[in-house]
Structure 1
C-alpha cells in the first residue's frame, strides 16, 4: 500500500498551490469550468480538472503517483463549503 506524506508545511503548500494556479493554470481553465475542481501537483505544475476533488485527484495520481496535490474550485474562494446555505435552522 502506497502511503503519501506531505513534504511541505501547510503554509508552503498553500503558497505554492496558489502561485501555480494564478500564474500558470487559471487562464487555461477558467472559461466554461465554473465550479469544477482543479487538482494541482505543487512540485511539477501538472493538473487535472474534474467535477469533484476525488475524480480530479484520481486522474492526477494516475499520471503522477507521488503528486503533492493542492485543490482549487474554479470561480470560488474555497473548495468546499460548511453548513447549510439558505436553510432556516430555527423554524
Structure 2
C-alpha cells in the first residue's frame, strides 16, 4: 500500500474537492447514479465513479498514481454515515 504525502490542509482539500464536484462532475453524474462513489483528484480534476471507494480510487490511480483523492457519494452530503440513527429506528419499531 502506497502512503501519499498530503499537500493541502483538510480545509483546502475539502474546498477543492467540493468545488470540482459541484462545478464539473455533478452535472455529468447526478442522473441515474444515486449512491455511487466518485473519486476526484483535486489537483487535475480527473475523476472515476464506481460502486465503492476502493474501485473508484483504483480506477483513478491507474491514470494518476499520485492523485490527491476526494470522495463524494452521488446524491448525498456524506460518503459514510455514523451514529445511532438506524439503531434508534429499530428500537422504536420493537
Structure 1 vs Structure 2 CA RMSD? 1.6
Distance 2:9 2:22 in 1: 20
Q: Deviations over 1:18-59 (max 9, x none)?
A: 000001110001111000000000000000000011110111
Divergent runs of 4+, >4 A: none
5+ long unaligned stretches in structure 1? none
Q: Do structure 1's residue 18 and structure 2's residue 21 form an aligned pair?
A: no
- CA offset digits 1:37-86 (Å, max 9, x no partner): 00000000000000011110111111100000000000001000113523
Gaps of 5+ in 2: none
More helix by proportion, 1 or 2?
2
Residue 67 of structure 2 corresponds to 67
TM-score in terms of structure 1 length = 0.91
